[in-house]
Structure 1
Amino acid sequence: MSAVAGLLAARGLAVSGSDAREGPVTAALRAAGVHVDIGHDAAHVDGAGTVVVSTAIRPTNPELAAARDHGVPVLHRSEALAALMADRRAVAVAGAHGKTTTSAMVAVALDHAGLAPSWAIGGTVLAADGASDAPRAAGSVPDVGGGHAGTGDVIVVEADESDGSFLAYAPQIAVVTNIEPDHLDHYGTREAFEAAFRRFAARVLPGGWLVACADDPGSAALAAHARDQGVGVRTYGTAPGADVRVGPWTPEPARSGGSTWVDDGSGPVALRLRVPGAHMGLDAAAAWTAARLLGVDAARAAEGLARFVGTGRRFEDRGSAAGVRVVDDYAHHPTEVAALLRAARPVAGDGRVLVVFQPHLYSRTAAFASEFAQALDLADVVVVTDVYAAREDPDPTITGGTVVERMTGDATFVPDRLEAARVLAARARPGDLVLTVGAGDVTELGPVVLAHLAGRDDAS
């Protein structure tokens, strides 16, 4: 929502909004010229021409209710973003996993190539010189969260499939990283989830492209279906027959990264990344392919990807204390958690991997409890908190203990997240890597772990 607000403000529109509390995003919004109120009140929509909401906003929200009572047009976030995309060459990145990282990689590669793209991504985009190192013109609107208003004719958006809102977009390039069933609370069945991606691919503009991962069965099936429907398709991956071949992943723990290569038929090009994990190599291949389809030179695209150092909450370094490194990550699906822990293992080196995990949504925890347990067993020590409800009402039959009871390794259920952080920190020793993992307020636990470690260090 903050990214959309910033982009609308950059177009010269008068934008206001409200949030539950102050924070870095509210400060950034004000710097971008957005009027921000703290707390929700029906009076905030007085005089508004349009109200924009996300799926997370409940119908009982006083501002949304007031808008509907007074006939003020209400747009979903995706509809507002679609309007911002209408006069641009749009790259929309979708997939059950990796879409934030992949869309951020596309943005950094295009920016380095001089295309001056705009972007709306679900995380702060980080590059070699810090947060989104694009040149800033005098008087330009500041970046807000994962939003950046560029001067070029390209916009990169993270296309959210969780509620079907990605079907509002009509991109020139659609990237699909994978299609693994999730968000069944919205779709109901795997078949409905997969059908939504087919509709998304069908929305690619004439002459445009679907970029799909050949290594993922769901994405590969989508590519075949799209080809049959006359959509231009470029597949990428290590699988035989991929249009863009991707080489093996070589970890480089010293720089928390690794390397691979890509080849679209014109010869292999090395990709050296500053982010860990073979899944990052595939995400970079997707971004490189999208950049190439927009006319970027192969080597130039690779140079841009080498500048990418991550996004907020994706293997984000939170600091070190007492010889222990603390990293925060947004992983909230079993496949994401497993990929994260496999990537963390070479980074930890001779140390152990310790995790405090906060399940996200009761429905997801219930559906994937066994899969979460199997993924988390890849760590050496795990503490699981209670479930972060997000948009759902509490379900007392589902807790973090639902996951722990299915685990075979060193795992403990500690409902209170602050206590969970302290319990895990007490288990850490020099050389270990601690991960705070999940899509909820577990992100606030990094400083808690560091403070506990520093206190223990001071005491010694």
Structure 2
Amino acid sequence: MPTAMDRPHFIGIGGAGMSGIAKILAQRGAKVAGSDARDSATAEALRALGVTVHIGHDAAHLAPDATCVVVSSAIRADNPELARATGLGIPVVHRSDALASLMDGLRPIAVAGTHGKTTTTSMLAVTLATLGLDPSYAIGGDLDAPGTNALHGGGDIFVAEADESDRSFHKYTPEVAIVLNVELDHHANYASMDEIYESFEIFAGKVVPGGTLVISADQPGAVELTKRVRDLGELKVVTYGESEDADLRIHKITARGLTSEVTVLLDGKLLTFTVSVPGRHYANNAVAALAAGIALGIPSRNLAGALKSYTGVKRRLQLKGEAAGVQVIDSYAHHPTEMTADLEAMRSAAGESRILVLFQPHLFSRTQELGKEMGEALALADSSVVLDIYPAREDPIPGITSALIIDAARAAGADVRAVADKDAAPAVIAGMARPGDLVVTMGAGDVTDLGPLILAELSK
């Protein structure tokens, strides 16, 4: 009798979360198929694992012997493959349920927070692998090394990025949960901070009895959440950060070019280690990873030494190349807090170099709620170019355009201009650059594709 995951079909298989689950299932021996709107390097990587990947969405792509259809919250009800699955009576499984099933029988670590999830999950995966623990992992971005977002490992630890955007992180029952920060985002699904807190409280309540919640002692939303979950059953709460009362206290963060040296106070003793990416934001993520590893029973000094092995995630301050004396860097930052963190990290590493940003806002709802703060974050750059909003899964909202961000940026004293034609943007920002500058493509949409085009323009 086949199980639901023997022959799964993924709709939107090229997405970061979906592709990771598909890869693990393929590595476990399942006959995996799926479809995506366009071909990509991710699709090719899946095909190399024996996965059948169709381009475009068509009912004919769904094999009638599929044991289930896996969807994310981004898949609309009128998708032809989903409609065919319903007609054939094939079970429809949400991505989060598929991921939860992969963790059965293992020791899960679930990493949550409004931002920083991918980096922290990646730090843990690389650190545990460096220590020879061979973890499985599912991450929302590709690691620089080994260059994939998911792996079926032979060890008993499973590290997963836990997505709060659609409340799907309620499906997991981790041994260790991490909450990096709690802020209002995903405005199509959450109407208020009270709803956000309630959602994170449910997530914390899913930790197995006797398990550990690792949570920031500095970020206001996380501090409030800690107050709300302190008395949750057998939950052990471990706080980390620069606050005096943190259980794992950051004593000092020292910037050293594109790396940071972090010293923490643990059990009355100082422990120093290197983080191979710049900025306080990433240093804090590393300390969260350290705390989670300790919660699993791994010696702190072993973890500290192995953390240096982490060299980054694609699209997280990733150097795309250099031409005409200008470095081009890619940043996935799309929330104002992320934008500020990445720009501050680059500022600390850049010295006297100018920072030029090509920013693409992500989602109409996010721009409506946070456009002013996005503009204020761009004031940290020397100059910026702002593209039209990348809609992703959303329909336009009347009156919501990139002008909200541009006006706020100018009000904050920023040098910013609008470029509606994305194809023209590489030449515009390359024309602004001079030797020694850093050019940053920033946003969660397809702005990442413009890095190589900017380098080509600079080379002319």
One-letter code aligned to 1:329: S
1:375 pairs with 2:377: yes
Distance 1:234 1:330 in 2: 29
Q: Partner of 1:237 in structure 2? A: 241
Q: Partner of 1:31 in structure 2? A: 48
Distance 1:222 1:368 in 2: 22
1:8 shift after superposition: 1.1
1:401 shift after superposition: 1.9
1:47 shift after superposition: 1.5
Structure 1: any 5+ residue segments left out of the alignment?
133-144, 456-460
Distance 2:49 2:394 in 1: 32
Question: 1:36-47 maps to which residues of 2 (within 5 A)?
Answer: 36-45=53-62, 46-47=64-65
Q: 1:78 aligns with which of 92, 96, 102?
A: 96
Deviations 1:60-93 (A, max 9, x none): 1111111112211001100000000111100000
Q: What secondary structure is seen at the aligned counterpart in 1 of 2:348?
A: helix
Contact 2:373–2:408 under 8 Å retained in 1: no
1:264 shift after superposition: 2.4
Q: 1:440 aligns with which of 427, 432, 445?
A: 445
Distance 2:449 2:391 in 1: 16
Q: What secondary structure is seen at the aligned counterpart in 2 of 1:307?
A: coil
Deviations 1:384-440 (A, max 9, x none): 000000000123522222210122211001112222222111110011111000000
1:241 shift after superposition: 0.7
Contact 1:210–1:223 under 8 Å retained in 2: no
Distance 2:227 2:272 in 1: 28
Contact 1:338–1:378 under 8 Å retained in 2: yes
1:38 shift after superposition: 1.3
Q: What secondary structure is seen at the aligned counterpart in 2 of 1:311?
A: coil
Q: TM-score, normalised by structure 2?
A: 0.93
Q: 2:256 aligns with which of 252, 262, 274?
A: 252
Contact 1:166–1:200 under 8 Å retained in 2: yes
Deviations 1:331-351 (A, max 9, x none): 000010011110011222111
Q: Partner of 2:146 in structure 1? A: 131
1:11 pairs with 2:28: yes
Contact 1:348–1:431 under 8 Å retained in 2: no
Q: 1:221 aligns with which of 218, 224, 237?
A: 224
Q: Partner of 2:8 in structure 1? A: none
Distance 2:244 2:219 in 1: 12
Q: Partner of 1:179 in structure 2? A: 182
Distance 2:31 2:268 in 1: 48
Q: Partner of 2:7 in structure 1? A: none
Q: What secondary structure is seen at the aligned counterpart in 1 of 2:244?
A: coil
Distance 1:178 1:402 in 2: 26
Distance 2:415 2:273 in 1: 37
Q: 2:336 aligns with which of 329, 334, 337?
A: 334
Contact 2:252–2:264 under 8 Å retained in 1: no
Q: Partner of 2:327 in structure 1? A: 325
Percent of pairs with identical residues? 48
Distance 2:392 2:306 in 1: 35
Higher mean alpha-carbon deviation, 88-97 vs 390-399, is at 390-399
Contact 1:184–1:190 under 8 Å retained in 2: no
Q: Partner of 1:343 in structure 2? A: 345
1:197 pairs with 2:200: yes
Structure 2: any 5+ residue segments left out of the alignment?
1-17
1:259 shift after superposition: 1.1
Higher mean alpha-carbon deviation, 240-249 vs 116-125, is at 240-249
One-letter code aligned to 1:22: D
One-letter code aligned to 2:210: G
Higher mean alpha-carbon deviation, 62-71 vs 220-229, is at 220-229
Q: What secondary structure is seen at the aligned counterpart in 1 of 2:214?
A: strand
Higher mean alpha-carbon deviation, 354-363 vs 411-420, is at 411-420
Higher mean alpha-carbon deviation, 18-27 vs 351-360, is at 18-27
One-letter code aligned to 1:150: G
Contact 1:418–1:448 under 8 Å retained in 2: no
Distance 1:247 1:316 in 2: 28
Q: Partner of 2:408 in structure 1? A: 406
Question: 1:260-271 maps to which residues of 2 (within 5 A)?
Answer: 260-265=262-267, 267-271=269-273
1:266 shift after superposition: 5.1
Q: TM-score, normalised by structure 1?
A: 0.93
Q: What secondary structure is seen at the aligned counterpart in 2 of 1:131?
A: coil
Q: Partner of 1:104 in structure 2? A: 122
1:285 pairs with 2:284: no
Count, aligned residues = 438
One-letter code aligned to 2:425: A
Distance 1:349 1:232 in 2: 42
Distance 2:339 2:281 in 1: 12
Q: Partner of 1:91 in structure 2? A: 109
Contact 1:328–1:436 under 8 Å retained in 2: yes
Q: 2:82 aligns with which of 38, 53, 64?
A: 64
Distance 2:368 2:345 in 1: 26
One-letter code aligned to 1:148: L
Deviations 1:291-322 (A, max 9, x none): 11112221211121101111111001100000
Q: Partner of 2:357 in structure 1? A: 355
1:197 shift after superposition: 0.2
Contact 1:110–1:296 under 8 Å retained in 2: no
Q: Provide the alpha-carbon RMSD of the alignment.
A: 1.1
